[in-house]
Amino acid sequence: MKYIFVTGGVVSSLGKGLTAASIGTLLECSGLRVAFKKFDPYLNVDPGTMSPFQHGEVYVLDDGAETDLDLGHYERFTHAKLTKLSSGSSGQIYETILRRERAGDYLGQTVQVIPHVTDEIRCRFATSDTDADVTIIELGGTVGDMEGMPFLEAMRQFALEIGKNNTLFVHVVLLPYVRTADEIKTKPAQQSVALLLGLGIYPDILMCRTERKMTNEIRAKLSLFCNVPIRGVVEELDVESIYEVPTMLHDEGVHHIVLEHFGMASKNCDLSPWTNVLQKIRAPKKCVHIALVGKYVEHKDAYKSVHEALAHGAIANGFALEVVRIDGEMAEQEDIRGLLQECSGVIVPGGFGNRGIEGMLRAIRYVREQRLPFLGICLGMQLAVIEFARNVATLRAANSTEFDETTPHPVISLLDEQRRVVDKGGTMRLGSYECRVLPHTHLHQAYSQEFIHERHRHRYEFNGAYRDILMANGLCISGTHESGLVEAIELLQHPWFVGIQAHPEFKSKPHMAHPLFREFIRAAIRIKQV
Ligand code: GLN
């Protein structure tokens, strides 16, 4: 097993996750199997309890793990199998150690960061995916952060233990462009590498994030002062589409450097699925405008996978995509027709709490009545049910008990098992569940399958007590779990109106758009052409 460690320096938000994912793409396209791990130095046990405003989206895996959004990049860029063991945090590591300490398992020892915390981290580095050839391990945060130190120390020890030719260090840095000097600057990168060298970590690849091309002089300077061979100084330019990163790193020969370092024979790297995607992105027929009406719209990363899945849907239809982000609270106040004027479809994504809910309901009513394509995801589906109950089934005060505990018509409510839940962390309905799809529905037309599997992350459910009355009024229940839980609803007399309780956005890939997103975008394009 070979290991690649990816760290970041200078500033955060450099796209370390994308870089790690793209290295994975190159190795996979060279015929290797890759595995991924992401470690975050914060003390939360997982990001499940963190606000999307601060931390961006919580990405959910099949096994129900609530993880960092970088795992979404890994899944979109490769076929790696990710599980609960693919991510970790300081909180998780300390939780394990403290539990062990209370159980008396340390047999009288003083429990310390070194060796106990670093040993636990090293254990978690060692991969569980025994079929993989290479495991790529990304460390969140920036080198120099105090809380990241135990992870860097664990990396150094790990590399010493398994040998230099089995580990490769990639350090991602920013080369800022200083306009007044008309120059890109290398000093912050040098200082960041100096920190790493001081910790006993010698980067093999320096991934240089830059908005301008690097001259040979800059490359030579970085090589000399950062102690990285000149081939290992890699340019990672700002790009229009994130899906250009693998081809860009390919042109810089990153896969050759990695394979040579590991003593693996150089293989032909076939990036054709990626170049096909890029061709489609670069030559769209036209542009489709989709409104995203939600709670966290001003935070770019809060609906990361939804944005990506919409983009994949547009790529599959040969169109460019413009997402019009509309805050739910704004939709409460403003003229909804005016807000949605340019858009040929509306998506209401997941969310928690009642902020902006009435605005989202107004948008849903508008698209139902105006016959514009609609995709409701999780909260979006629950709101579509509420809107239908209120305005079609005339249950005027219908609501979810999440927003009004005393509603006379709780069309969305908690199951008993959720009522008993006390802790907030890790206690939602999480992970992949099977759903049976009703034939002759939009859902069936999209998936062409009787049984589908999608990932969940919610507490509230469609209340079965309202099933008959809503169906009698024309609501179609197009997907159900074997327990009888409603998984998807739609309006058959509408050009395209689908709500799904799960999060299909987590399973979309650029060259394999998720069928629901592909069909939603197709319906939106069709509406525009009519
Ligand atoms: N707040 C809703 C629930 O908990 C929806 C959650 C979501 O959209 N992910 O059921």
Nearest CA residue ID for atom 8, ligand 1: 350
DSSP state of 319: -
At 88, which helix (H) or strand (E)? strand 87-89
Is 444 an active-site residue?
no
Do β-strands 374-377 and 345-348 pair in parallel, antiparallel, or remain unpaired? parallel
Q: Is 352 in the pocket of ligand 1 (CB under 6 A)?
A: yes
Delimit the domains of the chain by residue range.
2-276, 284-529
CB–CB of 82/61 below 8 Å? yes
Per-10-residue mean pLDDT, the chain, length 530: 95 92 97 96 91 90 96 97 95 97 95 96 87 95 95 98 96 96 94 96 97 95 96 95 95 96 90 94 94 90 96 96 93 89 95 94 96 97 98 96 96 90 88 97 97 97 97 97 97 96 98 97 85
**Can you say how many angstroms the Cα of residue 319 is from the centroid of all Cα atoms in its chain?**
22
Residue whose pair of structure tokens reads 């096994």 in the numeric block: 63
CA angle 484, 488, 492 (to 5 degrees): 120
CATH fold, domain 2-276, is Rossmann fold (3.40.50)
Q: Cα of 477 to ligand 1 centre, how many Å?
A: 19
Where do we find the tokens 């290797």? 32
**pTM score, whole prediction:** 0.95
- Which residue, among 489, 522, 517, has the nearest Cα to 305 in the 3D structure? 517
The residue annotated as part of the active site, out of 409, 503, 514, 519, is 503
* Res 274: pLDDT: 94
User: b/e per residue, 194-219, with b = 16+ CB within 10 A?
Assistant: ebbeeeebebbbbbbbbeeebeeebb
Angle at 242 between CA 234 and CA 455, to 5 degrees: 125
A 10 A CB-CB count for 279 gives: 10
Residue closest by Cα to atom 6 of ligand 1: 458
- Side chain identity at 350, as an amino acid letter? G
Q: Which of 305, 458, 500, 506 to mutate to test the pocket of ligand 1 (most atoms within 8 A of CB)?
A: 458
Ligand 1 neighbour 351 (Cβ under 6 A): yes
Q: What is the pLDDT of residue 481?
A: 97
Domains 2-276 and 284-529 share a fold: yes
User: For residue 263, is it left (φ>0), alpha (ψ between -120 and 50) or beta?
Assistant: left
Do 434 and 451 contact (CB within 8 A), yes or no? yes
Q: Decide: 94 in ligand 1 pocket, CB within 6 A.
A: no
CA nearest 23: which of 249, 233, 269, 252?
Answer: 249
- Number of neighbouring beta carbons within 10 Å of residue 444: 16
What pLDDT is attached to residue 530?
A: 46
Contacts of 306 (CB under 8 A, 6+ apart): 292, 347, 349, 377, 505
343 is catalytic: no
Most distant pair of Cα atoms in the chain: their distance: 76
CATH superfamily for 284-529 is: Class I glutamine amidotransferase (GATase) domain (3.40.50.880)
Query: How far is residue 162's CA from residue 156's CA, in Å, rounded to a whole number?
Result: 10
Does residue 507 have its Cβ closer than 6 Å to ligand 1?
no
CB distance 333 to 327 below 8 Å: no
The residue whose C-alpha atom lies closest to atom 1 belonging to ligand 1 is: 352
